[in-house]
Amino acid sequence: MKSSLFFVNLRFVGIGFRAYVLTKQIKDLPLDFESKYIHTLPEGSTNSSSDSNSSGALKLLILKVGKSAITAYPIPAEVTIYCPTDQQQQASSQPLLLTSSNWKLLKDVASEIKSYKRPDPYKGSGIYLCDRFETESGEIYQNEFVKRKEIKKK
């Protein structure tokens, strides 16, 4: 059976919304630690332990989405997240790209990230699923449709 690679784009719409991927190396993991979030280290890494189960890397998605605190989301090992690192690209609403070979897990991760800032029906700010289209003038990202409400009048 041929394995497929699935992808989802998440776009931030709002002032000051940012995302970063942080990798933290972990050595001497406890036996009861859940291993679904541990990414394996590359062969050339500085791993002094010969047991491959005792060390790894934990990847975190750091989100700044209009709350007073920074949110850290642990990325599962089967999911890879690519985010623009340049502040200018994030300001121009370049989306996050989530890839995985497991479609159900990918949709669960995307919905959990999206739950940190649901699209607001009044302002329109939030985290949206989006589709990428290639055109003659360049690439276009089209957000999911969210019904907007009319501003309440006094």
CATH number at 6-143: 3.90.930.12
pLDDT confidence of 105, banded at 50, 70, 90?
very high
Q: What is the DSSP string of 129-143?
A: EEEEEEETTEEEEEE
With cut-offs at 50, 70 and 90, classify the pLDDT of residue 59.
confident
The residue ranking higher by pLDDT, 20 or 87, is: 20
Q: Is 73 exposed, middle or buried (0-12, 13-18, 19+ CB in 10 A)?
A: middle
Look at residue 109 and tell me whether its pLDDT is greater than 90. Answer: yes
